[in-house]
A = this chain, B = another copy of it.
Amino acid sequence: MSSSLKDVAARAGVSARTVSNVVNGSARVSAQTRQRVQEAIDELGYRPNLAARSLRAGRTGIIGLAIPELHSPYFGELAGLLVEEAQRRSWTVIIDQTRGDAEAERRLLAGGGGRVMDGLIISPWALEAQELAATAPSLPLVLLGERDPQGLADRVAVDNVAAADEAATHLLARGRRRIAAIGLQPHLRNGTAEQRAEGYRRALRRAGITPRPEWERAVGSLHREEGARAMAELLDGDAAPDAVFAFTDELALGAMYMAHTRGVRVPEELAIAGFDDIEDGRFSHPTLTTVSPDKRQIAQRALQCLADRIYSPDNEVPASDLTIPHRLVVRGSTAPGGEAR
């Protein structure tokens, strides 16, 4: 195998202590000794063993990121930013895909078969408020997205109700009245979809419109395919909507695809708005109006929370609940009148 601290010490004719000092710069070492040690290190190609260091330090320098899936523009982008921010703090990130599996999320929250991670950033999917609260976090925890009523862990999220309200209000301002919603997930308990639905209904009511249950379409996943399916159902219904608010951009793009397929013109006959501001929506035809959460800030704040908690002397930092700003980005899919761009 590879060489250890001891090997280097022997080769340089010094003690392990001195080598350690050279490697970590933890104490003053004479230039001459340092030189000798450095040579030995280079010759032997010595690399400190992280496992041993972690064992000693009680820290691994590794944080976990648990998301439903990497394969999805939104989570991919977010994961990229989180990894980038973590690298900036010289943390390594291990990624777990929960695939919306409650069991996987539970396992991770419980400390997941082995103490490797110094902390965990998790975007809960299947788990509901009650259970998140019940599972006493065995490690520093940051929740991405919705719901931790008990305030046991830090939470970083956008104001989904307000954001959805804005999106729907925008559609109303474009003169649309028959506004459908795509993306409800009654089988999930993470709350995100429910909050976006709430904002949507609120906007409708404020405009004097009674939300129609048949225009609130549930989906099995948040992918394009489901958006297309839901759109087809809406178009097949008795009264076709003149606008759609999809709870994710992927659903919106799926809906747009189906509109094209059926020969429905966007935005003339059907305006579409999404949520997430993924890159695809900036280059689709027409380009997609969407709610844009500040993803960079989500990543930064999440890492900051984790750092505070990991490095805090006592771990009695009160849980913070951060609301990340968002803005409505208006593009071609909700252009006024008949202009597609």
Listed in ascending order, the chain A residues whose CB lies under 8 Å from chain B are 1-2, 45, 47-55, 58, 60, 62, 69-73, 76-77, 79-81, 83-84, 87, 92-97, 111, 113-116, 138, 223-224, 228, 253-254, 256-257, 260-261, 279-280, 282-285, 341
A176 CB to nearest B CB, Å: 21
* Residues of chain B with a CB closer than 8 A to A228's CB: 283
Give the contacting residue for A95; candidates B1, B55, B69, B83; CB below 8 A: B83
Whether B80 lies near A114 (C-beta < 8 A) is no
What copy number does this chain have within its complex? 2
- Which of A51, A93, A111, A261 has the most C-beta atoms of chain B within 10 angstroms of its own C-beta? A51
* Residues of chain B with a CB closer than 8 A to A261's CB: 341
Whether B97 lies near A51 (C-beta < 8 A) is no
Give the CA-CA distance A228 to B284 in the complex, in Å. 12
Give the CA-CA distance A73 to B285 in the complex, in Å. 18
A127 CB to nearest B CB, Å: 19
A173 CB to nearest B CB, Å: 26
A114 CB to nearest B CB, Å: 4
* Residues of chain B with a CB closer than 8 A to A224's CB: 279, 282-283
